[in-house]
């Protein structure tokens, strides 16, 4: 199984994010049904290990909170823009939840996440897009700010790779207090 832990987004926010998509030749846009905020990518694991992950995540206690998304960001590699995303504003509650997820997964034997947590919702992969089109998009949408999203649970998703895009399946939802 290929797994990750994420915050699912309500349909209204997915629609607002989806309205941003388009206008950049060469960009590969994420389908709106796949929008999420990853707390921790797990990757391929055996079914018995997935059961351990589920039990560890079920033990997490964390309060509900509001998630604020704002602006447009990029991830770059060797000076080239590789993806567009909407960043999440950092909050104590989001950081604490992500830390608890990381700790729980390490306790069941998963390797620590090496990358620093940068909360975001990916909009597009852009390695084949022209830089000037990306810069124009960033400028046009810099002030994007949907209303805050109430977060009442986090989710263990499975990911199945498809021809056009991955297919994400919510496997288990874990309620927040």
CATH code of the domain made up of 2-175: 3.90.1140.10
Who contacts 147 (Cβ-Cβ below 8 Å, separation ≥6)? none
Catalytic residue at 85? no
pLDDT in tens, 31-42: 999 999 999 999
Catalytic residue at 120? yes
Tokens of 30: 């994420």
> In whole angstroms, what is the distance from residue 141 CA to residue 73 CA?
10
pLDDT in tens, 68-82: 999 999 999 998 999
Per the CB < 8 A criterion, the answer to whether 114 and 20 are in contact is: no
Tokens of 15: 């629609």
Domain map (residue ranges) of the chain: 2-175
- Identify the active-site residue in 85, 120, 132, 167: 120
> What confidence score (pLDDT) does residue 161 get?
84
- Identify the active-site residue in 36, 132, 153, 167: 36
pLDDT in tens, 153-171: 999 999 998 877 789 999 9
The CA-atom distances, in angstroms, between 85 and each of 76, 82, 111, 117, 136 are 11, 10, 26, 14, 15
Per the CB < 8 A criterion, the answer to whether 13 and 33 are in contact is: no
18, burial (CB in 10 Å: exposed 0-12, middle 13-18, buried 19+): middle
pTM: 0.94
């Amino acid at each position: 199984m290929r797994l990750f832990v994420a915050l699912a987004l309500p349909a209204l926010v997915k629609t607002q994010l989806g309205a941003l998509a388009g206008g950049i030749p060469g960009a590969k846009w994420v389908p709106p049904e796949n929008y999420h905020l990853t707390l921790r990518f797990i990757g391929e694991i055996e079914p018995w290990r997935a059961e351990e992950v589920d039990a560890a995540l079920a033990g997490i206690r964390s309060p509900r909170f509001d998630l604020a998304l704002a602006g447009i960001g990029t991830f770059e590699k060797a000076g080239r823009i590789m993806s567009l995303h909407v960043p999440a504003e950092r909050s104590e509650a989001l950081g604490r939840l992500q830390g608890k997820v990381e700790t729980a997964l390490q306790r069941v034997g998963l390797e620590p996440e090496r990358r620093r947590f940068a909360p975001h919702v990916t909009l597009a992969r852009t390695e084949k897009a022209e830089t000037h089109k990306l810069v124009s998009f960033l400028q046009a949408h810099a002030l994007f700010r949907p209303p805050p999203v109430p977060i009442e649970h986090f989710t263990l998703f499975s990911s199945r790779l498809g021809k056009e895009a991955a297919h994400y399946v919510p496997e288990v939802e874990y309620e927040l207090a």
